[in-house]
Structure 1
Amino acid sequence: MKWEHLFPEKILDRGHAYYADELVEDLDVSATVIQANVIGKDLYYVQIKHTDGVIGAMYCECPYALENQHCKHMAAVLYEFDEGNDLNHVESTHMTEDIFHLVARADDTLLRGFLTAILSENSELLGRFKGELGVPLSESDVQRYKLEINDIFAEYEDRHGFIGYYQARELSMDLTDYLGRHVHLLINTRQVSEAFEVVNHTFRELHNLAIDDSGGEIVTILNHCVRHWQEIISRADEAQKVDMFDWFIQQLDGHVIDYMEEYLEAVVFDHFKEKAFLKKKEQLVDKKLHQLFRTERIAYDTDKWLLRKIELLEQQNVQQSEIDDYCKQYLHFNGVKDYYVERCLERKDFQTAVEVLEESKVRNGDLPGIVARDSVKLKDLYKQTGNHSAYLQELWYLALNHHAGNVEIFNELKRQYTVEEWEKQREVLFEQLPTYAPIHRLYHVEQLYDRLLAFVQSSSSIMLLEYEHVLKDKYPEALLEKYESIVQAMAEETANRKNYQQIVKLLRKMKPYPDGEKRVAALKTKWQQQYKNRPAMMEELNRL
């Protein structure tokens, strides 16, 4: 079966590499369909139709193929198909036997010469052969991997060195596939330091890349790097771990882009848990904090590094009292404050937790999100400690401010009163609610349907659609009139077909109402006269 002409040469090369690496699984061949799964960045299903030896439609789940391209996964499946369906229709088991007999017929000199020639031509096979023999890779071998990675980057760059949106997607797929194959091979053949160097080279090249990665390609590749680092570290011996740790620390000297630096930090602090590394990590943290305080960069970074410091103190089994003293210096950082409050709660030091949260509310008065979280914690603490008056006060504060219109807080407040008391307190709350609060939610839960109807009548079509199921049986005429006013206003505006389609959808919703059919028919007749010069509108009305 001839099919190679259907693919660009570079796609054929990559497809053959997948086939050679035995990444094609579950091959199934029928009279008209070839299908299989291919292991790549994900597991991709491939289906290829054929008739009388001619390839027809081909399908693969990968992003490249979904853009109507013939991909390397399709080529890999066809290579796998050809292995079991060569010109003589030799079954693979027979082929294996033939190979065995061929090798048996060759003398030692011929085998060595042939193997030498093959390995000289194929660097990937050379790496696999060295791994099988347990021979360490040479510096030139590692350099070859780096050059191949550079070639992948270069392939997708334009003449200005920029990688565009569509090229970025292909780059991400090819690079992660390459790393997956070669890094795992290196790890499995005990070439851990070499695998580490290959991943590090990829990371450094990413740092200098000019690319449109609006599809998240850089993050995808970085996540793959992290996963490879994690596996490499888990397989490294003590001396190798020391070298790896030192490399990460060197990268965290401030010259790496902030968002990329976070990936390095995650590896350093999530791994290297041995005692020998803890002090070095603490030195790194102290250095970062010194830089941050010196530049007055009081932001997320500071909070993050303070929490890393506290985590390291815990890992080194420092006395909790010493950790508490450290926390007290930095309670104006919300991450530290939250940590300290949680520790207070764990040891049932409720009074200290309350004091810290109350101070935080005052200090962060211009930061409503933080104040809201502190207030919720205070509410729960007051309830837990039996301070009912403070608990009720905090509930009211939340119901009228940061959680105004929140049904859960509203219902919690309601439970503090008798039925008679609540009718009065509810009206007080309604009067004091800020104008931005979604009061309609509260009308709904309280079953104040007359007020809910009034709110819907004064609001947009969105509110009508949200509460129609609640109000339709009670106020059908009022809702029908609201629908009519909405579609009338929409029809008065000259618009596109999408708007006219929306009008027709609303007209259909009107028809089941009492007298709805008649009202819709009247509107349709009126508009067909009034707006007869709007052909798109007329077409949509005719579909009603």
Structure 2
Amino acid sequence: MMEWQSLFEPRILERGLDYYQMGHVTNVIDEAGVLSAIVTGTQDYEVELDLSEEDNLGLFCECPYAADLNTCKHMAAVFFAWENGAAKEVSVFSKSELEKAIAAADEVTLRAFLLESLQQDQSLAQRFMGRIQKSGITSKTADPFFQVNQIVDRYTDYSDYINYDHAFGFAADLSAFLDTEVQSLIDEERYHEAFDLTNAVFQTIGEVEIDDSNGEIVFLGNECYEIWQRILSLVDPDTKNDMFIWFSRQLAELEHDFLLELIQQIIAEEFQELNFAEQKLRRVEEMLEEAAKQNDFIRDYSLASWGIIKAELLEQLGKPDEEIEAFYRSMWNHNEIRQRYIKRCIDQKNFYRAIEVLKESIILDKEYRGLVSEYSIQLKNLYLQLGEKEAYVEQLYHLIYEDDPGSLETFRELKQLYSTDEWRPIRDKIFNKLAGEVVLDDLYVEEQCYDLLMEEVEKSFMLYKTQSYLVILKDRYPERLLEKYKKEIRGMLHESSSRKKYRDIVYLLQDMKKIPDGKKVLADFVQELKTTYPRRPALLEELERV
């Protein structure tokens, strides 16, 4: 049987074992090496483990933690169930076999099975309801908010709040609803209805009270945006104008910042026709007036956002350069506006004006290191493009020492300017000047200065950096690495006394086996720990796993 435990962090493995032992794993099915199961926690999650190819496992779980490509406790629980023989092999039935079985079943059995299946699978339920609507059996969903509100009601608690545990299911059901209902309307060229249904979802997620710590609102908002793009690419000009009016109204009505940004973006990007430009400009000027009345932080953000859109519209409408320049200058204190102006200069090949503004921006935004670094990189690129080698090289040194210290990309760019013999003293000077100020690990690897890298590993906190560079260093400095592991683990045991910590330590001890002579050193070290801590039975028990 495969060594699947190494796929999980110790704490995740422990929670998975708890779930399995408490009987939370049900319906374990093995279909040609693909395991599927239901794991019950705060809600039911479907888990699928594709074990058909041991070197290319496919692991899936519906939980939010697994959505970020993590291996979760639910997956671990199913592995434990499989290892203990809980999986049942199932047959794959052909279409003809299913048709015969349906024909042989009575109506009561069919209805009961259909109801049970739809209750257990809301995605399937959405598809079923959509099929019923298309056939004209029900008219309840003439209101586009009807089905959306049904989904909301399913996940809200008594105070009309969707908590963290229910947020993922809420987003998944609304996404399935958009994929099935709206897409079918688009396929049937019922664009107005598809638009109304999408808008119902969009407005609902802007009003619902939800803990969307995992980005459910962002996910659904982007899905609505993509549907709008499809619809707008298909409709006639009059319909598109009606839709523009709806989007324009949302600018004044929406209070959710991210969703408001999506509306701004759809108006800016999807209504490029000249007949919309004047309408957009009037609306943007109204929004600039409103933004000027807001408090400081929101005011600056809103003014910059709308200011960029106005600048683009002025250019699109071919307004006189004097008017465009005057508008940029009126908002010069916003770095986003200056960045837009720099882009305009570069697009017009007015490179020396762009350089002037970049130098000015470095002074104006000196408190914002990230911005200064961006400006400095742009300056460097412009000097290179203009063939001003002396200014280009000077800017590279300014970047590596001041504006983007220790940048690997700048380091490599500098290196290309020198021969091998010329480069070595320059490199050493960079190392000496930056040592202690920034992390130079990537530069040491680039230059194969493994002795310097090993010194940084030895000085580093705990074993995080040691693990990061273990593959590079293990054959070069095995003794020093093993001593680093022993030193840090001794310190951890001095402060730790819980079984969870002991399991984490055992996980780290396993790394020592990867180092030359590590197995022998590890065996002696484990014996040392057993001798040092004879009264810690939990530790002694965990050490037996090494």
Instruction: Bin the TM-score by the shorter chain.
Output: 0.5 to 0.7
Specify whether residues 321 and 128 from structure 1 end up closer, same or farther in structure 2 by C-alpha distance, changes over 3 A only.
farther
Equivalence for 2:538:
536
User: Do the aligned residues in 2 keep the contact of 1:163 with 1:211 (CA within 8 Å)?
Assistant: yes
Specify whether residues 416 and 540 from structure 1 end up closer, same or farther in structure 2 by C-alpha distance, changes over 3 A only.
same
What is the SS of the residue equivalent to 1:299?
helix
Shift of 1:294: 4.6
Specify whether residues 235 and 128 from structure 1 end up closer, same or farther in structure 2 by C-alpha distance, changes over 3 A only.
farther
2:88 is aligned with 1:86: no
| Equivalent AA in structure 1 for residue 212 of structure 2 | D
Shift of 1:537: 1.9
Equivalence for 1:383:
384
User: Do the aligned residues in 1 keep the contact of 2:144 with 2:197 (CA within 8 Å)?
Assistant: yes
Q: Deviations over 1:185-219 (max 9, x none)?
A: 55555654444444434433433322333344434
2:543 is aligned with 1:527: no
Shift of 1:246: 1.8
Q: Distance in 2 between matches of 1:538 and 1:442?
A: 42
Equivalence for 2:25:
none
Q: Distance in 2 between matches of 1:196 and 1:440?
A: 52
Specify whether residues 223 and 454 from structure 1 end up closer, same or farther in structure 2 by C-alpha distance, changes over 3 A only.
closer
User: Do the aligned residues in 2 keep the contact of 1:507 with 1:520 (CA within 8 Å)?
Assistant: yes
Q: Distance in 2 between matches of 1:205 and 1:507?
A: 51
Q: Distance in 1 between matches of 2:468 and 2:514?
A: 17
| Equivalent AA in structure 2 for residue 481 of structure 1 | E
Q: Distance in 2 between matches of 1:395 and 1:366?
A: 21
Q: Deviations over 1:290-316 (max 9, x none)?
A: 233354555333222222123223433
Equivalence for 1:107:
none
Cα RMSD between the aligned structures?
4.3
Aligned partner (choices 476, 493, 496) of residue 495 of structure 2: 493
User: Do the aligned residues in 1 keep the contact of 2:218 with 2:258 (CA within 8 Å)?
Assistant: no
2:152 is aligned with 1:150: no
Equivalence for 1:212:
211
Equivalence for 2:282:
283
Tell me how many residue pairs correspond in the alignment. Answer: 444
Shift of 1:372: 0.3
Shift of 1:395: 1.7
Equivalence for 2:262:
263
User: Do the aligned residues in 2 keep the contact of 1:142 with 1:198 (CA within 8 Å)?
Assistant: no
What is the SS of the residue equivalent to 2:395?
helix
| Equivalent AA in structure 2 for residue 365 of structure 1 | K
What is the SS of the residue equivalent to 1:401?
helix
Specify whether residues 266 and 474 from structure 1 end up closer, same or farther in structure 2 by C-alpha distance, changes over 3 A only.
closer
Shift of 1:483: 3.5
**Alignment of structure 1 residues 296-335 onto 2, 5 Å:** 297=298, 299-318=300-319, 323-324=324-325, 326-335=327-336
Q: TM-score, normalised to structure 2's length?
A: 0.67
Specify whether residues 213 and 515 from structure 1 end up closer, same or farther in structure 2 by C-alpha distance, changes over 3 A only.
closer
Shift of 1:416: 4.1
State percent identity of aligned pairs: 32
Specify whether residues 265 and 128 from structure 1 end up closer, same or farther in structure 2 by C-alpha distance, changes over 3 A only.
farther
Q: Distance in 1 between matches of 2:473 and 2:413?
A: 26
Q: Distance in 2 between matches of 1:45 and 1:435?
A: 47
User: Do the aligned residues in 2 keep the contact of 1:364 with 1:370 (CA within 8 Å)?
Assistant: yes
| Equivalent AA in structure 2 for residue 463 of structure 1 | K
Equivalence for 2:85:
none
Q: Which moved more, 1:424-433 or 1:185-194?
A: 185-194
Q: Which moved more, 1:313-322 or 1:79-88?
A: 79-88
Equivalence for 1:464:
466
**Alignment of structure 1 residues 18-417 onto 2, 5 Å:** 85-88=101-104, 128=135, 143-184=142-183, 186-187=185-186, 191-295=190-294, 297=298, 299-318=300-319, 323-324=324-325, 326-417=327-418
Aligned partner (choices 461, 484, 487) of residue 486 of structure 2: 484
| Equivalent AA in structure 1 for residue 211 of structure 2 | D
What is the SS of the residue equivalent to 1:348?
coil
What is the SS of the residue equivalent to 1:85?
helix
Specify whether residues 320 and 141 from structure 1 end up closer, same or farther in structure 2 by C-alpha distance, changes over 3 A only.
farther
Specify whether residues 261 and 363 from structure 1 end up closer, same or farther in structure 2 by C-alpha distance, changes over 3 A only.
same
User: Do the aligned residues in 2 keep the contact of 1:146 with 1:201 (CA within 8 Å)?
Assistant: yes
User: Do the aligned residues in 1 keep the contact of 2:130 with 2:181 (CA within 8 Å)?
Assistant: no
What is the SS of the residue equivalent to 1:284?
helix
Equivalence for 2:433:
432
What is the SS of the residue equivalent to 1:253?
helix
What is the SS of the residue equivalent to 2:158?
coil
| Rg larger in structure | 1
Q: Distance in 2 between matches of 1:531 and 1:339?
A: 65
| Equivalent AA in structure 1 for residue 446 of structure 2 | V
Q: Deviations over 1:453-500 (max 9, x none)?
A: 433332343333444555555544444433433333333333334543
Shift of 1:360: 0.6
Shift of 1:369: 0.3
Q: Deviations over 1:412-448 (max 9, x none)?
A: 3344455555454444433432633113433443444
| Equivalent AA in structure 2 for residue 405 of structure 1 | G
User: Do the aligned residues in 2 keep the contact of 1:142 with 1:194 (CA within 8 Å)?
Assistant: no
Shift of 1:513: 6.5
Q: Distance in 1 between matches of 2:283 and 2:498?
A: 60
Q: Deviations over 1:102-153 (max 9, x none)?
A: xxxxxxxxxxxxxxxxxxxx997576459xxxxxx9xx87754444443443
Shift of 1:533: 1.4
Larger RCO, structures 1/2 (Cα 8 Å, 6+ apart): 2
Specify whether residues 216 and 424 from structure 1 end up closer, same or farther in structure 2 by C-alpha distance, changes over 3 A only.
closer
Equivalence for 2:112:
none
Q: Distance in 2 between matches of 1:176 and 1:473?
A: 50
Equivalence for 1:117:
none
Q: Distance in 1 between matches of 2:467 and 2:105?
A: 65
Shift of 1:166: 4.4
Q: Distance in 1 between matches of 2:160 and 2:310?
A: 41
User: Do the aligned residues in 2 keep the contact of 1:192 with 1:236 (CA within 8 Å)?
Assistant: yes
| Equivalent AA in structure 2 for residue 265 of structure 1 | Q
| Equivalent AA in structure 1 for residue 484 of structure 2 | K
Shift of 1:253: 1.1
User: Do the aligned residues in 2 keep the contact of 1:203 with 1:225 (CA within 8 Å)?
Assistant: yes
Q: Distance in 1 between matches of 2:496 and 2:233?
A: 66
Equivalence for 2:57:
none
| Equivalent AA in structure 2 for residue 290 of structure 1 | E
Specify whether residues 158 and 435 from structure 1 end up closer, same or farther in structure 2 by C-alpha distance, changes over 3 A only.
same
| Equivalent AA in structure 1 for residue 398 of structure 2 | Y
Specify whether residues 279 and 45 from structure 1 end up closer, same or farther in structure 2 by C-alpha distance, changes over 3 A only.
farther
